[in-house]
Amino acid sequence: MVVGIEHCVYCFDVLVAYLEGRMPLEPEFENNQYPLFVTWNIVNHGQTRLRGCIGNFEPLPLHSGLKEYAITSAIHDRRFSPITIRELPHLTCGVSLLTNFEDAKDYLDWEIGVHGIWIEFVDDHNRRRTATYLPEVTEEQGWTKEEAIDSLLRKGGYNGRITDKIRSRIVLTRYQSAKYVVTYQEYLQHVSENPLKHGIKHEIRNPKDSKYLDEFAIDEWN
């Protein structure tokens, strides 16, 4: 498995340092190149919702790529408000490293739960559009292949009536990914075992600290 806990921990390091106004230390894992995505979710009362997910299909060095997209996905995903320091206790970080890119024969030439899908199409105004779903999305949403494709067309900015003619315009690339997910509590445990490696020169904060509490946390920690 090419992805591991150290990649997610580093993304947390980067985000925490950004929110605290300091620079993170450089990571120690190998600096191989992969297309990658960083996904932030927030968990509250057993419900999980997306807080940011952005990546790049060009192979990037892991050190600079994870550093860039940990912040880009947390702060600059235009679908959501920026993640705040008060949300940290409820966050999970997922790192996906993408592999095995293949040209599909048509828009249905992929397997749910196995492949991520990247579509390119030209809309009614002759504008090129693109959109992607990571491998886990279709299965998590309970979609059929066609439902996933139609959702991707909307995500890509197509607002017209979706027909077989529109679907036939799609050029689809399928891919796979290795993914690892870490909770904030798991991150704290990892950091507490070697705080200086993470640029922490003071006592690790308890999630009950008032600095990190908001309406999401009050019921959980009381």
Q: How confident is the model at residue 198 (pLDDT cuts 50, 70, 90)?
A: low
Q: Which long-range contacts link 150-158 to residues 24+ away (Cβ below 8 Å)? A: 152/117, 152/119, 153/119, 153/121, 155/131, 156/119, 156/121, 156/129, 156/130, 156/131, 157/123, 157/129, 157/131, 158/121, 158/123, 158/129
Structure token pair of residue 143? 């979609």
Share of the chain above pLDDT 90, in %: 78
Instruction: Report how far residue 95's alpha carbon sits from residue 180's, in angstroms, rounded to the nearest whole number.
Output: 6
pLDDT of residue 32 exceeding 80, the answer is yes
Topology adopted by domain 5-193? Glycoprotein, Type 4 Pilin (3.30.700)
Instruction: Report how far residue 124's alpha carbon sits from residue 115's, in angstroms, rounded to the nearest whole number.
Output: 28
What residues does each domain of the chain span?
Answer: 5-193
Report angle CA 85, 24, 54 to the nearest 5 degrees: 65
Per-residue confidence (pLDDT) for residue 197, from 0 to 100: 65
| Helix, strand, coil shares, percent, the chain, to 5 | 35, 30, 35
Per-residue confidence (pLDDT) for residue 116, from 0 to 100: 97
Sequence-distant (6+) residues with CB within 8 A of 58 are 35
Instruction: Report how far residue 94's alpha carbon sits from residue 55's, in angstroms, rounded to the nearest whole number.
Output: 12
Q: How confident is the model at residue 214 (pLDDT cuts 50, 70, 90)?
A: very low
Q: What is the mean pLDDT of the chain?
A: 89
Per DSSP, 209 falls in state S
Higher pLDDT, 194 or 55: 55
Asked if 218 and 89 touch (Cβ cutoff 8 Å), the reply is no
pTM of the predicted model over 0.75: yes
On the CB side of 200, CA atoms within 13 Å amount to: 20
pLDDT of residue 36 exceeding 70, the answer is yes
Instruction: Report how far residue 14's alpha carbon sits from residue 75's, in angstroms, rounded to the nearest whole number.
Output: 12
Instruction: Report how far residue 84's alpha carbon sits from residue 186's, in angstroms, rounded to the nearest whole number.
Output: 19
How do residues 93-103 score in pLDDT, each as one tens digit? 999 999 999 99
Pairing of the two strands 171-183 and 91-103: antiparallel
